[in-house]
Structure 1
């Protein structure tokens, strides 16, 4: 459980690192224009909440799948990668190419931490490791 919590925390840190590099170092004006509303600035609080929510949702789904199927790891990985692909539609609301690229990079950074990190701690993998010892 601690490893999974660290993984979720790592995903938040990865997203914030991309945000800080783009906004504070490069100077990207990170704004989105969702639908017909006024442009909204994407700040560190929004990045933290979104990446934390994604991490906790992924962890929760994996825990549920582990209770329901012996193939939890594979099913979860396919679902996580599909979720990443669908989530990449969100950055299209960026008000500039730089904002869109930064938002997409944040999505990929979160997935790059969550997918291998949460997969590593699956119960099926732990059972396989102990059975081969």
Structure 2
């Protein structure tokens, strides 16, 4: 007799899995905005003093960029799930690599120490996406 390790799917299970990733994306945006606000309250002005044109990183820009990155991450994971059995492992490695690489440009901006620290914290906050999107390991 063959034993199958199939996970029973009910409408509740399907609904929960269907909502998990959009909820993870929304949670990532909210956590990032919360960290942005904490940085502002701690004295970060989010002003990048570029000689050509100074740039202020607003809460709105932070939310939009976080949303775009989260949706791209979700799309990459969905694509990997279609082409490989090791999607979760590959995606996690890629997500961590992208997170690390996203930190390097902060070294090269001209900004106050408070702004630089806040930018690092905001980038780290996006890491919430990694466990939020990852498929559960049953």
TM-score when scaled to structure 1? 0.83
The CA deviation at 1:11 is 0.7
Question: How large is the RMSD of aligned CA atoms in angstroms?
Answer: 1.5
Provide closer, same or farther for how the CA distance between residues 94 and 118 of structure 1 changes in structure 2, counting only shifts above 3 A.
farther
Larger Rg: 2
Partner of 2:133, secondary structure, is helix
> What is aligned with 1:29?
45
Distance 1:14 1:75 in 2: 24
**CA contact 1:30–1:94 (8 Å) conserved in 2:** no
TM-score when scaled to structure 2? 0.80
How many pairs align?
120
**CA contact 1:91–1:101 (8 Å) conserved in 2:** no
Distance 1:105 1:70 in 2: 33
Unaligned runs of 5+ in 1: none
Residue 83 (structure 1) aligned with residue 98 (structure 2):
yes
**1:4 corresponds to which of 21, 26, 38:** 21
Partner of 1:76, secondary structure, is helix
Q: Deviations over 1:102-121 (max 9, x none)?
A: 1111111111x1011111x3
The CA deviation at 1:73 is 0.5
> What is aligned with 1:50?
65
**CA contact 1:28–1:98 (8 Å) conserved in 2:** yes
Provide closer, same or farther for how the CA distance between residues 33 and 66 of structure 1 changes in structure 2, counting only shifts above 3 A.
farther
Q: Show structure 1 runs of 4+ deviating over 2 A.
A: none
**CA contact 1:94–1:103 (8 Å) conserved in 2:** no
Q: Which has the higher helix share?
A: 1
> What is aligned with 1:104?
120
Distance 2:45 2:103 in 1: 19
The CA deviation at 1:13 is 0.6
